[in-house]
Amino acid sequence: MVIGKTNAERFKKIVVATLLILVCAAAAMPFLWMISSSFKERGEIFTFPPVWIPREPTISGYLGLLEQNIFGSAGFRDFTINSVVVSLTSAVISIVMAAIAGYSMSRFRLRGSPFLKYTILLSQMMPGALLLIPLYLFVSSLGLIDSHWSLILAYTSFTLPYCTYILKNYFDSIPPALDEAAMVDGCDRLGALFKVVFPLAAPGIVVTFTSAFIMAWNEFMFAMVFLNSYPQWTLPVALGSFRGQYLVDWGYLFAGSTLVTLPVLVLFLLLQKWLAAGFVSGAIKA
């Protein structure tokens, strides 16, 4: 009977592992096809049956993106710098404000705290298109149209509630007794926050920061509406411009998409230890 149970458990693990491999392969196929197509000539992209490995690999798409200003006054490097500046700035602002707000919601039982928590959740259910016109009118009244600050304000407006709610849950998993012990040892509330709570919540902060950065890095709609001139464009808007009314420049599109994906991939590889710890620690409350 023990042998039968062991075989059943082994069979179950094999089935689960097989399903996971199939799901991962299905998820990776579009990404691998994008990389493969970025090294193909235009005619080879549309061959049937599809060819995964280019017969005559070329880097003309990458060279065209990196060596010239595609839109006259701006090039791919300018768009990359714009995206990095906007994404980093909005993520840093969101994480700083969310850390303070999340800690306050976790440690202090203020009147209306449950209502505030549910309001934050409801704000995440609102589609971005619903906020497009109000935010456009707001940044226009500030004279920030065609400015990176318009995007920073817009991105912060929808990443801050998300970051606040996530960090509040991470702070809930840290026993308040640690704060009290630090204050008994001579720290004030801010000292306990920076010397005890933040270091313990570092994995959660890294996870939240990464999520906020990726949300800003991939955003297209607000950038397309708020930015009018080529030098101000971010990478998603530049990639979208490769698809015209009558022609799609597939070489530039695949090469650009691959380059846009690389920073996020590198970020995950560098922070994978912190990300794994953050996902686990955020799932448990004290």
212: left (phi over 0), alpha (psi -120 to 50) or beta: alpha
CA atoms in the 13 A half-sphere facing the CB of 259: 25
Sequence-distant (6+) residues with CB within 8 A of 3 are none
Q: What are phi and psi of 243, to 5 degrees?
A: -105, 100
103 located within any domain: yes
172 located within any domain: yes
Report the pLDDT value the prediction gives residue 284, as an integer from 0 to 100: 47
**Share in percent of the chain as helix, strand, coil (round to 5):** 75, 0, 25
Q: What is the pTM of this model?
A: 0.80
50 located within any domain: no
Contact between residue 106 and residue 178 where contact means Cβ atoms under 8 Å apart: no
Specify the number of domains making up the chain.
1
CA distances from 75 to 65, 197, 201, 252 (A): 7, 43, 40, 12
Supply 227's token pair: 């930015």
* Owner of token pair 């798409």: 61
CA atoms in the 13 A half-sphere facing the CB of 40: 22
d(CA 243, CA 253): 8
28 located within any domain: no
Q: What is the pLDDT of residues 246-281, one digit of tens each?
A: 667 777 788 888 888 888 888 777 776 666 655 555
Which amino acid is present at 180? E
Burial 181-191 (b: 16+ CB within 10 A, else e): ebeeeebeeee
Report the pLDDT value the prediction gives residue 89, as an integer from 0 to 100: 94
d(CA 129, CA 73): 30
Q: What are phi and psi of 248, to 5 degrees?
A: -115, 125
Class of residue 197 by CB neighbours under 10 A (exposed 0-12, middle 13-18, buried 19+): buried
Contact between residue 151 and residue 226 where contact means Cβ atoms under 8 Å apart: yes
Burial 252-263 (b: 16+ CB within 10 A, else e): bbbbbbbbbeeb
Supply 29's token pair: 């196929």
191 located within any domain: yes
Instruction: Tell me if residue 155 falls in helix, strand or coil.
Output: helix
Instruction: Tell me if residue 243 falls in helix, strand or coil.
Output: strand
> End-to-end CA distance of the chain, in Å?
39
Q: For the CA atoms of the chain, what is the radius of gyration?
A: 24
39 located within any domain: no
Q: Which residues of the chain have pLDDT under 50?
A: 1-2, 282-286
d(CA 240, CA 260): 12
55 located within any domain: no
Residue-number span of the structural domain to which 107 is assigned: 62-281
5 located within any domain: no
The CATH number assigned to the domain holding 104 equals: 1.10.3720.10
Instruction: Tell me if residue 229 falls in helix, strand or coil.
Output: coil
Q: What is the pLDDT of residues 204-246, one digit of tens each?
A: 888 888 888 988 998 888 998 898 888 888 888 888 777 765 6
